[in-house]
Structure 1
Amino acid sequence: MLGPRRFGAIRDGLPGISANILTRKLEDLEATGIVVREQLPDPVRVQLYRLTGAGLGLWPVIRALCRWGAGMPGHDPRLFISPTSLMLSMRAMCARERAGRHVAAMVLGGEPFVITTAPGQFRVERGTTGAALRFEGGTNAMAMAIYGPMPLAQTAQGVIRFDGDLADGQAFVDLFSLRPAGPA
């Protein structure tokens, strides 16, 4: 959902899955038209997996599952979450109707993302260009800073690194909750 990925990057985001199982799952997704495998030209010669239009069309289902899962009694936000999964979670859990204009860079374990919000809108892309707010840290620490009960001023003192206007950063963080207020 955030652009083409190498096999290794996909596997890194799914701890515990074997290469054989992941290969079979990707082949199944390719056979059903959800992903397509692409080969980059020389000198890179890297194979990537990219969602097709049908794969991208699954976002409403994935969003509903994210929101449903966050409300389940067994949900444990302390468990491992990959950088891409956190970005998708934030996309699913953002209160777009309350969103102000923010451009926030998130660097999660070295993986850069930029999130842009505006009233009724949320967009996430890879990169950090043009961000007035910058959050940096491990993915689980960032999830705690975004979804946890502590104000940004506290989490920015040792849990994560934050650069930018603190009031704007807090307004951005306040857009996200693991307990959605309304229907998906």
Structure 2
Amino acid sequence: MAENRKTYGEGCIAAHALDLIGDRWALLVVRELMLGPKRFGALRAGLPGVATNILTRRLEDLERVGIVRRRSLPAPASAPAYELAASGLALAPVLRELCRWGAAMPGHDPGLPISPTALMLSMEAMIRPAGRFTAGFEMAGEAFALTADASGLQIRRSDAGTGEMSFAGHPNDMASAIYGPAPLADVVASGRIRFTGDLGRGQAFVDLFRLRHPVPAGEDA
């Protein structure tokens, strides 16, 4: 680690982990790369609140400690990009548990921006498995193929239109369709998202995902 990096200066292994990923934006950079490599501009789009110089610094820091590495995307992109090394991919359970913990805490504002990748990872964390569904999602120029089954939710980047049903729209509108109280048919009728497939199956799929409600002090979940 570079000498000018901040450190907690403790032998605690949790403190050591935070020395590596505890800087502001670092873990969110990891989040944006969790489903595959991205170019700098795509990372910036997924993190609208970060300044360009801060993003550059975080990528350099994460690359220095072996969490992120650079690679060249295949044609037709043929451009440099960033991807997670094995140690970065190993943070997937950490992100899932942060989603679950955060969903149980008060104060979450669903109106703030959410990236397509962030929504996908939140769905992976919040699913209650039941039955088998396949679905395609398209948001902000990114497309994903989802398979839900008894083991949970599997997500991969894909072409649009993959699966028995497909969803398309702005990420925040999509989050509202997945987690909001309105029936899927009403959200589709309002024009906020586009849906193709059987609406009954679509509603059953959406019903797999529920944000956990805050637990009052002194009560068990």
On whether the aligned pair clears a TM of 0.5, the verdict is yes
1:3 and 1:157 map into 2 onto residues whose CA distance is 33
Greater share of residues in strand? 1
The aligned counterpart of 1:140 is: 172
Question: Which runs of 5 or more residues in structure 2 are unaligned?
Answer: 1-33, 215-221
**Structure 1 residues 41 and 108, CA gap change in structure 2 (3 angstroms):** closer
* Amino-acid identity (%): 56
Cα displacement string for residues 39-63 of structure 1 (whole angstroms, at most 9, x for unaligned residues): 3477744111111111111111111
Aligned with residue 112 of structure 1, among 135, 143, 146: 143
Q: Give the C-alpha shift of residue 167 in structure 1.
A: 1.3
Distance of aligned partners of 1:13 and 1:42 in 2 relative to their CA distance in 1, 3 Å threshold:
closer
Pairing 1:28-177 to 2, within 5 Å after superposition: 28-40=61-73, 44-96=77-129, 99-127=130-158, 128=160, 130-158=162-190, 159-177=192-210
Letter paired with 1:123: Q
In 2, Cα distance between equivalents of 1:109 and 1:40: 20
Amino acid at match of 1:138: H
State the alpha-carbon separation in 2 of the partners of residues 10 and 43 from structure 1: 19
Q: Which amino acid aligns with 2:169?
A: G
The letter for the 2-side match of 1:148 is G
CA-based RMSD: 1.8
- Once the two structures are TM-superposed, the CA of residue 110 in structure 1 deviates from its matched residue by 3.0
**SS state at 1:89 partner:** helix
- For 2:121 and 2:60, the matched residues in 1 are separated by 23
8 Å contact kept, 1:93–1:180: no
Q: Per-residue displacement from partner, 1:129-164 (whole Å, max 9, x unpaired)?
A: 641111111110000000000111111112211111
Tell me the residue number matched to 2:52: 19
Task: Work out the CA distance in 1 between the residues paired with 2:36 and 2:87.
Answer: 14
- Larger Rg: 1 or 2? 2
User: Structure 1 residues 110 and 38 mapped into 2: Cα distance closer, same or farther (>3 Å)?
Assistant: closer
2:189 counterpart SS class: coil
Q: CA deviation at 1:92?
A: 1.1
Q: C-alpha distance in 2, partners of 1:180/1:171?
A: 21
**Residues paired across the two proteins, number:** 179
Which structure 1 segments of 5+ residues have no match? none
Distance 1:41 1:82 in 2: 24
- Cα 1:59–1:42 shift into 2, 3 Å: closer
On the 8 A contact 1:67/1:180 being kept in 2, the answer is no
TM-score, scaled relative to structure 2: 0.76
The Cα shift of 1:108 comes to: 1.0
